[in-house]
Structure 1
Amino acid sequence: MSGGAAQRTRRLGLTGSIGAGKSTVAALLREAGLTVTDADALGREVTASPEVLTELARLWPEVVSTGPGRLPALDRAALAARVFGHPEQLAQLEALTHPRIRSATEAAWQAAQDRGESWVVHDIPLLFEKGLDRDMDAVWVVDAPLELRLKRLAERSGLTREQALAREAAQWPPADKRARADTVIVNDRTLADLRQQVTSALHQLGLG
C-alpha cells in the first residue's frame, strides 16, 4: 500500500495588544510541546548580524556604537528613537529586516513540517497590521484591560503612561483584533487561569 502525501503543518498566528501577556502564552505553548517562532526574537538576531549592522550604521550612524578593538553593537534605544513615530525611517528599517525575519520564520516552519508536526505557532506582534493573518490557519489574540496592561508595561519595561499609549496607538485597536480572532485569550487573572484557557484552546485545535 502506498503512503499518502504528508499532511501540511498548519500555522497558528499568536498576537495581542502590548502588555497583554502574549509572551507568557507563547511560553505555555512551548511548554505544551509546540514549535513557536518569535518575530521579535528573530528581529533581534537579524539586527545583530554584521550585514545588517553595517547597513544600519550607514543609514543612522548614531544607532551603532563602534570603537577601536570593539565589535559594532546596536543601540536599540537609539534605533527606537530614530524610527518610532517616523514612518519613512520605520519603512527603511522594515525593508531591511522583514525579508530576513520572514526567511527565518519559513525555515523554522519547514523544519517543523519535516518533523511531521501538526501545528507551528507564529508569535507576531503586528500580525494584523502587516496582513500576515491571511497566511494563518487559525489566529489567537491575547488581551487584557488597558489599565492592567499599562501597569505591566511600567513594571516590566519602565514605560511611562504616555510612552505606552503611543505604542498602543501604533497598533490595531484591541476590539478590532478580537473581532478577527478565532480564539481570544483574556489574561487578566492568574497564571493558572491563563494555562486553563490555553489548554482549552489547544483542545479546539485537536491538540492536547
Structure 2
Amino acid sequence: MYKVIGLTGGIASGKSTASAYIEEQGFKVLDADVYARKVTEKGSPGYHKIIEAFGNGILDDDGNIDRPALGRIIFNDPDERQKLNDISHPEIRRMMNADRDEYVKENHVFLDIPLLFENGLDKQCDATVTVYVTEENQMERLIERNGLTKEDAAARIGSQMPLSEKKSRSDRVFDNNGDKADLFRQIDEFLKELQNDEM
C-alpha cells in the first residue's frame, strides 16, 4: 500500500530543493504552486474570479495576472489573502486530488503544499515532513534570493505559520540549516525507510 506524504516548509526554507531531489529519486511530487499557476492562467475560471475580486490593476500589459502585483496586495493584508485563497484553494485541491489518486496506485506520492497545516490538508496524508530553517536563516536567504527589503521579507515570513510550529506538528523534519549534502542525506534516509515500510 503506497503512502501520501505531505511536504511543507516556509518561504526560503529549501522546500523546492527538497522536492526536486525527491523527484530525481523517482517519486512523484505534486506541487501546489504549479496548480496555483494553472488556476491563474489566462482564460481559466479562476482567472476571471480573481480579476473580479482584485480589479484590472493586477494585470500586466498582455492581460496575464501579474503575480508580484497580486503578491504585494495579499502579503500585506490577511483579508485580501483570504479572499484569494477562497477562490483558488478549492480548484487547486480538486486538480491535485485527482492526480494524487492516480499516481498513488503506482508509488508513494509527495504533496508539496506550503499551507499544508494551515488548510488542514495534513489530515489527508499518511505522514508529514517539514523542511526547517531558523528564522534568521530564512530571512537572510529570502532577502538574498528575491532581492527584497527587510520589511518585505518580514511581511512574507510573517504571513505564514512559523516554521517552529510546523516543525512541532510534523512526523519528520528535514533540518536545512546546513548544506545541500546534509539535506540530501536526511532525505535519502527518509526515502529508504519509506521503501522498507518502516514509516
TM-score, shorter chain, exceeding 0.5: yes
Query: How far off its partner does 1:151 sit?
Result: 1.8
Aligned residue for 2:8, secondary structure, equals strand
1:168-195 deviation line (CA, Å, top 9, x unaligned)? 2222222211111111101122221111
Question: Is residue 46 of structure 1 aligned with residue 35 of structure 2?
Answer: no
Residue 98 of structure 2 is matched in structure 1 by 107
Match of 2:3 among 5, 10, 15: 10
Aligned residue for 2:110, secondary structure, equals strand
Letter in 2 for 1:34: F
Aligned residue for 1:24, secondary structure, equals helix
Letter in 2 for 1:187: N
Whether contact under 8 Å (1:53, 1:64) holds in the other structure is no
TM-score (normalizing by structure 1): 0.86
Aligned residue for 2:195, secondary structure, equals coil
Structure 1 consecutive aligned stretches of length 4 or more whose deviation exceeds 4 Å: none
Query: How far off its partner does 1:47 sit?
Result: 0.5
Match of 2:50 among 48, 56, 67: 56
Query: How far off its partner does 1:57 sit?
Result: 2.4
Residue 75 of structure 2 is matched in structure 1 by 84
CA separation of 1:14/1:52 partners in 2, compared to 1, >3 Å: closer, same or farther? same
Letter in 2 for 1:40: D
Larger Rg: 1
Match of 1:163 among 143, 152, 162: 152
Residue 178 of structure 2 is matched in structure 1 by 189
Residue 118 of structure 2 is matched in structure 1 by 129
Letter in 2 for 1:22: K
Residue 3 of structure 1 is matched in structure 2 by none
CA separation of 1:194/1:111 partners in 2, compared to 1, >3 Å: closer, same or farther? same
Deviates more, 1:16-25 or 1:57-66: 57-66
Whether contact under 8 Å (1:143, 1:184) holds in the other structure is yes
1:81-102 deviation line (CA, Å, top 9, x unaligned)? 2222323322221121111111
Identity %: 36
Structure with more strand by fraction: 1
Query: How far off its partner does 1:207 sit?
Result: 5.4
In the alignment, structure 1 segments of 5+ residues that lack a partner are 1-6
Query: How far off its partner does 1:48 sit?
Result: 1.0
Aligned residue for 2:177, secondary structure, equals coil
Query: How far off its partner does 1:36 sit?
Result: 0.4
Report the RMSD for the aligned CA atoms in angstroms: 1.8
CA–CA distance in 2 between the matches of 1:129 and 1:111?
25
In the alignment, structure 2 segments of 5+ residues that lack a partner are none
Whether contact under 8 Å (1:14, 1:139) holds in the other structure is yes
Match of 1:142 among 100, 121, 131: 131
CA–CA distance in 2 between the matches of 1:200 and 1:74?
40
Aligned residue for 1:30, secondary structure, equals helix
Residue 95 of structure 1 is matched in structure 2 by 86
CA separation of 1:74/1:179 partners in 2, compared to 1, >3 Å: closer, same or farther? same
